[in-house]
Amino acid sequence: MAGARAYIGSFTSAGGRGVTVADLDPATGALTVAATTDALADPSYLALADGLLYAVSETDEGAVGVFDVSGGAEPRLTGAPRSVDGSGPTHLTVTAGHVVTANYGSGSVSALPLDGGAPSVVRHTGSGPDQDRQEAPHAHQVVADPSGRWLLTVDLGTDSVRICTLDEGRLAVRREVALRAGSGPRHLAFHPEGAHVYVLNELDPTLTVCSWDADRGALAPLDEIRVLADDPKGDAYPSALAVAPDGRHLWTATRGEDVVSVFTLTAGVPELTAVVGCGGHWPRDLAVHPSGRFLYAANECSGDVTWFRVDEAGVPHPEGSVEAPAASCVIFGG
């Protein structure tokens, strides 16, 4: 764990520092800022692959920037940002020789070849019952399944998850799975054993439990559970979820209520066991360290990242925080 780092994304348009590199103490989970760069506008979500840090530029123009992080603490932007042929990219993943983005503004998903070339773009269609938030498609996340054969795209605007393939550089939708109308799915995560998927809904504070068949690329909703112990007092917008590396626990973050909810997983089935404060205001992202010992909340509006020690029951205990204005995500790497 020597030389471990965390990378924090943020909104430069809201006073954020862009990409922050933080040294991570493997004994305590503590973060110490080592360097920052605002070379890319609004790098709200990050992904690390082969010594390179990929970042969306969540702007109307929509782009991806690539940083070299191999030569020291300070990231170096390699070349000009590349257009995703879509607007407002909110998430990305690197898989099969491509960087793939979910574009909230244009309701599309783009696959850009790592070696250059035009993106392959799939444009979602449809809408939902909430005319303020679901008047059109809003792709919010794209995730590769553990087998690497499928891409799952989560669309808040159409209340659905699309199952896609990326073959010979062409992105294609193979099927679309409908979730409850008005739920507003935002993010999903796989259980480590691969047979369950958990979809976190933003417009209603719930978690949809699904089965996953990697052989067929088949997702099937099984149950929907509340992520809060009581009815919300005001705004309650779930934002992010994380599953423990050992598959025993799952955590969700809810903005407005500003809490982290703790679930125990038994045979992949979640049970709400605790709700604790997020350590700040408006937790936009939640990340579990690969060791499973520490949990991190990126609190956008209070401008900090809080770290927690996770006990045997999966309950997070706050240990400290680091200043990170307009923080939007946390990822880990060497």
Please give the CATH number for the structural domain made up of 102-333. Answer: 2.130.10.10
- What are the distances in angstroms from CA 34 to CA 4, 210, 253? 12, 40, 26
List per-residue pLDDT tens for the chain, 334 residues long.
Answer: 445 999 999 999 999 999 999 999 999 999 999 999 999 999 999 999 999 999 999 999 999 999 999 877 789 999 999 999 999 999 999 999 999 999 999 999 999 999 999 999 999 999 999 999 999 999 999 999 999 999 999 999 999 999 999 999 999 999 999 999 999 999 999 999 999 999 999 999 999 999 999 999 999 999 999 999 999 989 999 999 999 999 999 999 999 999 999 999 999 999 999 999 999 999 999 999 999 999 999 999 999 999 999 999 999 999 999 999 999 999 999 7
Domain residue spans in the chain? 102-333
Burial class (CB in 10 A: 0-12, 13-18, 19+), 271: exposed
What pLDDT is recorded for position 302? 98
Cα 233 to its chain centre, rounded Å, is 25
- pTM score of the predicted model: 0.97
- pLDDT tens digits, one per residue of 220-279: 999 999 999 999 989 999 999 999 999 999 999 999 999 999 999 999 999 999 999 999
